[in-house]
A and B are shown apart, each in its own frame.
Chain A
Amino acid sequence: MKMQVVFRKGERLRHIGHLDLMRAMQRALRRSGLPVKYSQGFNPHILLSFAAPLAVGIAGEREVMEVPLDTPVSTEDFLNKLNAVLPPELACVAARQVDDLHPAPMAALFAAAYRIVPAENAEAFQAAAAEFLARDRYMATHRTKSGEKQIDLRPLVFNLVAKPEGLHAVLSLNQSGTCKPDLLIAALSDVKHIPVPACRVTRTRLLNNLLVPLENA
């Protein structure tokens, strides 16, 4: 069986990279004594899969990972044992047992919700959201390892809502197209002709193609 786990990457740890986070989780699982599965080979490592890597600088409220287990463990037991050895900033908030045939979280992932809080120009920035949504298309330059690419951001942005605690954004995150938060931030600044503000970004939910949180699907 597998355990699907919802955990947080707290504000204090938002500068930790994905590989660092993965290593931290593996070591926590080793401390927990839970019946995890190991890979074969000379340097065996714990089998573990994450729905989506979280970039350096971004906190996560409900991140999803999947832990294959050798023997069944109740969710309550699992959460107690793992949280006992995890720092509060990486606490698991929920878990559920799924059978081995349940699609991997990575495969079900379609979009992610973010909360974006600009350090300055908050009002202009939030007003830009409505203007952006009113457009048919918005061409942006996407820099990748292989060079620069023009992409239309508009269809990759599913929703933008200005809320008192920050801008709520639902952005595409799948193989056919991904809008990273920094691309959206640059686009919104461009729409209002304001300098790109430093932003505090938090990923609040990971969603499937019905925009339902993975953990509920």
Chain B
Amino acid sequence: MNLEMNARLDRLLDRVEKPARYVGAEVGAVAKPLEKGMGTFAFCFPDTYEIAMSHLGMKVLYDVLNRDADLVCERVCMPWSDMADLLRQEGVPLFSLETRTPLRDFQVVGFTLQYEMSYTNILEMLDLGHIPVLASGRAEDMPIVIAGGPCAFNPEPLAPFIDAFVLGDGETATLEIAHAVRGLRAKNARREDILMALAQMPGVYVPRFYEPAYRADGTLAAFEPIRSDVPARIKKRIERDLNLAPYPETMVVPYAEAVHDRIVLEIMRGCTRGCRFCQAGMLYRPVRERSVERLMDLAEKLVAATGYEEISLSSLSSGDYSQLSELVKQLTERFSAQRVGVSLPSMRLDTLVGQTLADSAQVRKGGLTLAPEAGTQRLRDVINKGVTEDDLKNAVSDAFQNGWNSVKLYFMLGLPTENDDDLTAIGDLAKLVEDAYYQVPKGQRAPGLRITVSAATFVPKPFTPFQWCAQDTLPEIGRKQALLRGALKRKSVTFNWHEPELSFLEACFARGDRRMADVLLQAWKLGCRLDGWQQHFRYDLWLQAFADQGVDASFYANRERGQDELLPWDFIDAGVTKGYLAREYQRALDGAVTPDCRDGCQGCGLQGIAGACAP
């Protein structure tokens, strides 16, 4: 950014809320000069700085790209509304945190797609960055806009805005894309040719080369490439060996406190449990562990480089990491003298063992979060969350005996086959937790029991056995929430629920097709942005956007799909097969539990990928 622009931007910071979000210059941030010939990559996080800086994927890809001498990666976050308005008003383009370079000046602009309700932020960021929101409107020299992350597995609602999607693990794929674009730009290749080159790369989907056709009833009739030289099916990328995959040895230490402000160690990727609602559990297969040796080495370097006081072990289900107690033991032994605590989010309650709790409590005592997900055993069997009431009782008893006094319980509301008994049973579980607390003698238990019950509205997601299911209608969700509120009227219990309208829109985008892109564009034009933030969520404007575009939201959210229906994401090979998902859906309806696949292959499709699954 030139000096004059820099000075203008600097003055804007005097006028906004939480200016520390826009300062950059943190410890661990990269300060590489953006020289001619370098491949430049803007990692864009479509939410605010505090959220962005908590995200592991950004830390990993930032490191991967910046290790490369020919590449430089800088961060760009969604500004809060006051800053967004000021940037527009003053004509200052959205800029990177490191060198305050306008978004427009990067070769590649890459968004991570973590949450459907951040999609309006993508349009807002492109527009603030002086890049046309529609890919078709981008001039030759404009950045190539790419996107990856879990939501990229149904890319269609974003198809007109994104030049290329990356499916699956990003470490190698992102590096390849950055190099390819750099090389082609150096040869002054045409934009179309760059996109064509990307379309040839494994795991890359370039939507402009594909076209859907619809039936009269609105369902998909066909989805095919419009030229013969691009693949008809796109296979997700997989990093085979996490011990060989790159991992950051330093992390940016933000000044403004991030939501999760700590060292994150990814101990394992993937999950073999097969919970039927869980998209991550399907998308991140196969399971791969990092070795204790590698993790200890990374922890050593990260503690020295960042000065953080906490190491958080990250995975989808940390209790399933085969060396967990050994790792926690070594970490506490090595770092307790330096007052570095170890925290273990994402523990299943059937794997929470007393010793692990005691170990992790040795240095730091955080809250305990457990996710039974459903109130009755019947419904937990339907969703294949193989935990029992006894598991919950044992876990909380252990915790209360170890000095915990606060427990968070996560549930989902609106799961397939759910009835009112399943909901009132959530109240019984809260009572069970309360009883477990009072069974620990006074004096031995920490005073002041707090039970927080959160009930998220179930959103059916692609590549899960429930991808065909209808979401409950809004009135039905409202009725169920009221029922649950009644069942949870206890002094020790706080009940949190999500705004159902937000989950409804999330459902529309999660399984939407390209026609949802028109709704998205219209909603953004009407002023929707920062939808995930309650104070900015404008459901009325969203309804207007659907009406303006003549799109029926319930077609996407509340419709049960036929087993033979062509789904908008069927052209993606995510590893798990449609046959396996259909089989699992039928077993759900039958109330049949499917065991963890480490106890016997369930034939999900990953076994077809050489070396993917441990024998």
A residues bordering B, Cβ < 8 Å?
12-13, 15-17, 19-21, 23-24, 26-31, 38, 42-45, 56-57, 85, 87, 89, 119, 198
CB neighbours of A44 from chain B (8 A) = 339
- B295 part of interface (Cβ distance < 8 Å): no
Of B307, B338, B365, which is within 8 A of A85 by CB? B307
Given the interface pairs A30-B309, A31-B305, the reply to whether A16 lies near B14 with Cβ below 8 Å is no
Of B19-27, B55-63, B203-211, B450-458, the segment with at least 4 beta carbons within 8 Å of chain A is: B19-27
Closest Cβ–Cβ distance, residue A68 to chain B (whole Å): 15
Instruction: Point out residues on B near A: beta carbons under 8 Å.
Output: 11, 13-14, 19-20, 22-23, 25-27, 253, 255-257, 304-309, 338-339, 364-365
Question: How many Å lie between the Cα of A15 and that of B13 in the bound state?
Answer: 8
CA distance A56 to B22 in the complex (A): 13
Given A17-B20, A56-B19, A57-B14, do A87 and B25 touch, yes or no (CB 8 Å)? yes
Residues of chain B with a CB closer than 8 A to A23's CB: 255, 257
Contact assessment for A29 and B20 in the assembled complex, using a CB-CB cutoff below 8 Å: no
Flag if A20 contacts B257 (CB, 8 Å): yes
B25: chain A residues at CB < 8 Å are: 12-13, 87, 89
Q: Contacts of B339 on A, CB cut-off 8 Å?
A: 38, 44
Residue of chain B at shortest CB distance from A19: B257
The 3 closest A-B pairs by CB, nearest first: A27-B307, A15-B19, A30-B307
Residues of B near A27 (CB, < 8 A) are 27, 253, 306-309
Q: Report the separation of the CA atoms of residues A209 and B255 in the bound assembly, to the nearest whole angstrom.
A: 33
Q: A20-B256, A24-B27, A89-B25 are in contact. Are A57 and B306 (CB under 8 A)?
A: no
Closest to B19 in A: A15
Instruction: Please indicate the chain B residues that have their CB under 8 angstroms from the CB of A12 in the complex.
Output: 23, 25
25 residue pairs of the A-B complex, CB under 8 angstroms, read A12-B23, A12-B25, A13-B23, A15-B19, A15-B22, A16-B20, A16-B23, A16-B256, A20-B20, A20-B257, A26-B307, A27-B253, A27-B306, A27-B309, A28-B27, A31-B304, A31-B305, A31-B306, A42-B364, A45-B309, A56-B20, A85-B307, A119-B11, A198-B11, A198-B14
> For residue A57, which residues in chain B have a CB less than 8 angstroms away from its CB?
13-14, 19
Cα A57 to Cα B17 in complex, Å, equals: 11
In whole angstroms, how far apart are the Cα atoms of A85 and B256 in the complex?
19
Given A15-B14, A57-B19, A85-B307, 12 other A-B residues pairs in contact with their CB atoms under 8 A: A15-B20, A15-B22, A15-B23, A16-B20, A16-B255, A23-B255, A24-B255, A27-B306, A42-B365, A44-B339, A57-B13, A87-B25
Contacts of B13 in A (CB 8 A): 15, 57
Expressed in whole angstroms, the Cα–Cα distance for A17 and B21 within the complex equals 11
Question: Please, which residues of chain B bring their CB within 8 A of the CB of A20?
Answer: 20, 255-257
Residue of A nearest to B365 (CB): A42
Expressed in whole angstroms, the Cα–Cα distance for A21 and B254 within the complex equals 10
Q: Tell me, rounded to whole Å, the shortest Cβ–Cβ distance linking B250 to chain A.
A: 11
Closest to A23 in B: B257
Within the complex, the shortest CB–CB distance from B95 to chain A, in Å, comes to: 14
For residue A51, give the distance in angstroms from its CB to the closest CB of chain B: 20
- Cα distance, A29 to B19, chains bound together (Å): 25
With A and B bound together, what is the CA distance between A19 and B22 in angstroms? Answer: 17
A28 neighbours in B (Cβ, 8 Å): 27, 307
Pair A87/B27 contact, Cβ less than 8 Å = yes
Please state if A31 and B365 are interface contacts (CB–CB under 8 Å): no
Interchain CA distance A217-B88 in the complex, whole Å: 50
**Chain B residues with CB under 8 A of A87:** 25-27
Q: How far is the CA of A15 from the CA of B21 in the complex (A)?
A: 9
- State how many angstroms separate the Cβ of B523 from the closest Cβ of chain A: 32
Q: Which of A15, A30, A56 is within 8 Å of B338, CB to CB?
A: A30
- What is the bound-complex CA distance between A38 and B253, given in angstroms? 21
- Also in contact, A13 and B255, with CB within 8 A (given A29-B307, A57-B14): yes
Among A13, A24, A30, the one with the most B-chain Cβ atoms within 10 Å of its Cβ is A30
Task: Say how far A92's CB is from chain B's closest CB, in angstroms.
Answer: 15
Contacting residues, chain A, for B11 (C-beta < 8 A): 119, 198
Nearest-neighbor residue (CB-CB) of B27 within chain A: A87
Chain A residue nearest in CB terms to B254: A20
**Chain A contacts of B14 at CB under 8 A?**
15, 57, 198
In the bound complex, what is the Cα–Cα distance between A91 and B374 (angstroms)? 53
Q: Whole-angstrom distance from the CB of B200 to the nearest CB of chain A?
A: 43
CA distance A43 to B262 in the complex (A): 14
Q: How long is the Cα–Cα vector from A38 to B309 in the complex, in angstroms?
A: 12
On chain A, the residues within 8 Å of B256 by CB distance are 16, 20
Residues of A within 8 A of B308 (CB): 27, 30
**Chain A residues whose CB sits within 8 angstroms of the CB of B307 once the complex forms:** 26-31, 85
Determine the chain B residues whose CB is within 8 A of the CB of A26 once the complex forms. 307
Which chain B residue lies CB-closest to A199?
A: B14
Kindly provide the distance from the CB of B371 to the nearest chain A CB, expressed in whole angstroms. Answer: 25
Complex CA gap A13/B23 in Å reads 7
Nearest CB on A from B446, distance (A):
11
Max chain A C-beta neighbours (<10 A), residue from B27, B257, B306: B27
Residues of A within 8 A of B19 (CB): 15, 56-57
Name the residue on B nearest A86 (C-beta): B27
Give min CB distance, B6 to chain A, whole Å.
10
**Cα distance, A19 to B364, chains bound together (Å):** 21
Complex: chain A residue closest to B29, CB-CB: A87
Chain B residues contacting A38 (CB-CB under 8 Å) are 339
CB-defined contacts of A89 to chain B, threshold 8 Å: 25
Q: Which residues of A contact B364 (CB under 8 A)?
A: 42-43
A16 to B13, CA, bound (A): 11
Contacts of B23 in A (CB 8 A): 12-13, 15-16
B588 shortest CB reach to chain A, Å:
43
Residues in A with CB closer than 8 Å to B257 are: 19-20, 23
A41 shortest CB reach to chain B, Å: 11
Closest to B305 in A: A31
Q: B19, B253, B255, B339: which has the most chain A beta carbons within 10 Å?
A: B255
Nearest chain B CB to A58's CB is how many angstroms away?
10
Q: Nearest residue in A to B403 (C-beta to C-beta)?
A: A42
Instruction: List the B residue with the shortest CB-CB distance to A43.
Output: B364
- Shortest C-beta distance, B66 to chain A (Å), equals 17
Q: Quote the shortest CB–CB distance from B335 to chain A (angstroms).
A: 11
CA of A43 to CA of B337, assembled, Å:
13
A2 CB to nearest B CB, Å? 20
Residues of A within 8 A of B27 (CB): 24, 27-28, 85, 87
Closest to A28 in B: B307
Give bound CA distance, A43 to B20, whole Å: 25
Report A-chain residues with C-beta under 8 Å of the C-beta of B253. Answer: 24, 27
What A residues does B26 contact at CB under 8 A?
A: 87
Query: How many Å from the CB of B401 to the closest CB on chain A?
Result: 17
Query: For residue A10, which residue of chain B has the nearest CB?
Result: B25
Complex Cα–Cα for A20 and B255 (A): 5
